[in-house]
Structure 1
């Protein structure tokens, strides 16, 4: 029996897992979380205590959070790609995965979430801090990304699965800008990767969900 993935095509963390599944050509059933499929939301609620997605069901095993899902796939459904290498390269991969999730995607999400809060409960101070923190993250990446095509060199890893949706969406919130040519080039390489491009295209019909208005570029 193939695994089941519960997620949404416009979700950054769903895209992160989809990139790994598609790149490895892992058989799976895609259970999209949309109003037209309420049964998928019901299954999610039974297995994910906070309603978090993506959720992977592998037989009796339920895994939520994108990084543990990709780790589970590597351990139990290995494919052509080694998402977390051994040794020092693996430690660097894990660190960059956390950096992209926490410091890029995490800060990107704050202005988005704030935009859908009810009037009177918004947090302009927190939004401004998040926007400034995005630029700190950009500067660190510009100074610390390696010279290879991907985050840790020639191999496309978990770190790139995290970076692709994180940088894709964060540039919508705060432009990376021409002063960071290395990071701009890395983002462009990610978006030109055929698997990443597929994830972007499958999310394209849902861009009206972006509360700040999705840009025409990308």
Structure 2
């Protein structure tokens, strides 16, 4: 029985999970969550929290993109590894995975929500979230000075980084003088697994609330 992912392709967390699937070569089916029936009701009954992606594998239900990739690691141990077997290296991968979700994705979402009125106006044009971006961008530029990927090899952390940095730059542009960070972002967007997930989201780019800028993929 094939795994089934409930998703919308524009979601950064969906793209993160898809990148894990494509890196590992694990087949899956999709159920599109665009508000239409009967899939919307089916998903609500399956997962009342109604946040995606969620993967169904027979009777197993796996939610949250990080946990989905962890599940693939356990379920398909003979596929390319996204979390190292070495426990100390695995700590680094998991730590940087959380960095991208908490310190890049989170402020990005707050700025978007501010812009569309889903979060109360802070009267400061999102200054604290922009400051968080400034710190994250500077740290990442230093981190990537002599690295190809954020940990030793392409990993779970890079699956998180790719959509995080795509949408972060769309929301609060990465300064051009951060050449190491830009080079890393370019490598992520060129990675076949993420490029595939990104291509699948292209028909929905018009739905990004701030507008998808030209020339920044």
State the TM bucket, normalised to the shorter chain.
Answer: over 0.9
**8 Å Cα contact 1:110-1:126 kept in structure 2:** no
Q: Name the structure 2 match of 1:73.
A: 72
Confirm or deny: 8 A CA contact 2:143 2:150 kept in the other structure: no
Matched, 1:190 2:188: yes
In the alignment, which residue of structure 2 is the partner of 1:117?
Answer: 117
Q: Distance in 1 between matches of 2:129 and 2:189?
A: 24
Question: What is the distance in 2 between the residues matched to 1:79 and 1:216?
Answer: 40
1:136 pairs with 2:135: yes
Unaligned runs of 5+ in 2: none
- 1:73-111 C-alpha deviation (Å, 9 max, x unpaired): 111133532111122211000000000001001111111
Secondary structure of the equivalent of 2:81? coil
SS in 2 for 1:56: strand
Does the 8 A contact of 1:25 with 1:79 survive in 2?
no
Q: When the two structures are aligned, how many residues end up with a matched partner?
A: 215
Residues 1:33 and 1:13: Cα distance change in structure 2 (over 3 Å): same
1:136-179 Cα distance to aligned partner (Å, 9 max, x none): 111111122362311112x2100000000000110111111122
Q: Per-residue deviation at 1:206?
A: 0.7
Residues 1:97 and 2:101 aligned together: no
What's the RMSD between the two structures over aligned residues?
A: 1.8
What CA distance in whole angstroms lies between the structure 1 residues aligned with 2:145 and 2:57? 35
Q: How far apart are the structure 2 equivalents of 1:172 and 1:127?
A: 15
The unaligned stretches of length 5 or more in structure 1 are none
Aligned equivalent of 2:178: 180
Distance 1:44 1:127, change over 3 A: farther
Using structure 2 for the length normalisation, give the TM-score.
0.92
4+ residue runs over 6 A deviation: none
* Cα drift, residue 48 of structure 1: 2.5
2:8 counterpart residue number = 8
3-state SS of 2:38 partner? helix
The residue number in structure 1 matching 2:205 is: 207
2:149 is the alignment partner of 1:150: yes
Offset at 1:187? 0.2
| Distance of aligned partners of 1:143 and 1:76 in 2 relative to their CA distance in 1, 3 Å threshold | same
Q: Which residue of 2 aligns with 1:39?
A: 38
Determine if contact 1:112/1:210 at 8 Å carries over to the other structure.
Answer: no
